[in-house]
Structure 1
Amino acid sequence: MERKELEAAVEAILFAAGEPVPAERLCLALEMSREQIDALCGALADRYRYDRCGLRLVQLGESYQLCSAPEHAPVIRKALEGRRPPKLSQTALEVLSIVAYFQPITRAYIDQIRGVDSAYTVSQLADRDLIEPCGRLAVPGRPIQYRTTQTFLRSFGLSTLEDLPELPQVSTEEGQAARALQERLALLRTQAESGAMED
């Protein structure tokens, strides 16, 4: 296939999928290497931006997706107002931030950080596909661990979790509490991994 045909094929696949498509699937479908697919998608994304198209080709981790250009958000919102999901509450944003920065994390640790029960909010975020279960912690009771999803990345305009902004500086006391929590989580993960190896 010629380059124009390959670009058209990528557009067709991503449009038909309507969700992120792993780069490896594009490689298989188009019989191309990962480097060639990345270069092709990069060139296509640049062309969309340069031509000021209504679409953008975005990379989400190891996947690619077609989405609308952010500058058209107001008119899209106006046209599709009835379909727009309700905004996230302050509580939901707080829980989502905790999951994003400390994932994988259990609900008990979310509750410990916030100081209140977060069961309803965790369930709500999972229903909106912003977080998802990602296994169980190897401790008594085997609690479910949660992580963010590709919908989270797309919703916040991130390609990977490394694009998250740095956590703000906190007071010495808060910093010590955060470090203690991170050390505790690291210890639990180590225990979980060693427990998994024994299984």
Structure 2
Amino acid sequence: MEMREIESAVEGILFASGEPVQTDRICMALELDRAVAEQVLQHLMDYYAYERRGIRLLHMEDSWQLCSSPDYADAIRRAFEIRKPAKLSQPALEVLTIIAYYQPATRAFVDQIRGVDSAYTMGLLQERKLIEECGRLQVPGRPHVYRTTKQFLRAFHLSSLEDLPEMPDLSGDGQMRINENGEIVGAEASADTGAESAAETEE
């Protein structure tokens, strides 16, 4: 196939999936070398962004997914009468930060760092598919361990966990959180984020 035909085929596969598609699956479907497939995918991603198209191609670890452009989020919500999702609250951002940097982590570990019971907040993060169970710790009681998901990468515009900013040495109460822009902030800055977030009660 010519390069233009390959690009169209890749585009069709991504559109038809509606979910992240691994690079190897695209290679197998189109009988492509991995280097060629990655070149085509990168070209499509750059093209959508440069031309300010209504869709974007996201790269998440070894997977790729088509999604709508955030530039037109308001118009898309109006077209389908979709409510804007509530922002993550301060407790949720705090829990998510701990799991992102210390994964896989148990709930007890999260509770120990935060000093409060995080069961309710972790349940909400699981409902929003930002974290997931990934096994059990081989200790008495065999507690569940948790990790972040591909949805987490997508929500914070990260290609992989390696793109997380370096953890700073925060003074004061030592608290840290990821804000809505994927940046690490201390207690003072995150309090402002929490004020703008949807209310969330911990139990």
TM-score, normalised to structure 2, is: 0.79
Residues 23-172 of structure 1: pairs in structure 2 closer than 5 A: 23-171=23-171
How far 1:134 moved relative to its partner? Answer: 0.9
| Deviation digits for residues 159-184 of structure 1 (CA, Å, limit 9, x no counterpart) | 01111122233238849xxxxxxxxx
Instruction: Give 3-state SS (helix, strand or coil) of 2:87's partner.
Output: coil
Residue ranges of structure 1 left out of the alignment (5+ in a row): 176-199
Percent sequence identity is: 58
Superposition misfits of 4+ residues, deviation over 4 angstroms: 172-175
Between structure 1 and structure 2, the one with the greater Rg is 1
CA distance in 2, matches of 1:91, 1:81: 29
**Which residue in 1 is equivalent to 2:2?**
2
**Which residue in 1 is equivalent to 2:14?**
14
| Deviation digits for residues 97-138 of structure 1 (CA, Å, limit 9, x no counterpart) | 111111110000000011011111111111111101111111
How far 1:59 moved relative to its partner? Answer: 0.8
Q: Which has the higher contact order (CA 8 A, sep 6+)?
A: 2
CA 69–82 in structure 1, closer or farther in 2 if over 3 Å, else same: closer
Figure out how many residues of one structure are paired with residues of the other and give that number: 175
TM-score, normalised to structure 1, is: 0.81
How far 1:78 moved relative to its partner? Answer: 4.1
- Which AA in structure 2 matches 1:111? D
Instruction: Give the helix-richer structure, 1 or 2.
Output: 1
CA 173–49 in structure 1, closer or farther in 2 if over 3 Å, else same: closer
- Which AA in structure 2 matches 1:27? C
CA 81–115 in structure 1, closer or farther in 2 if over 3 Å, else same: farther
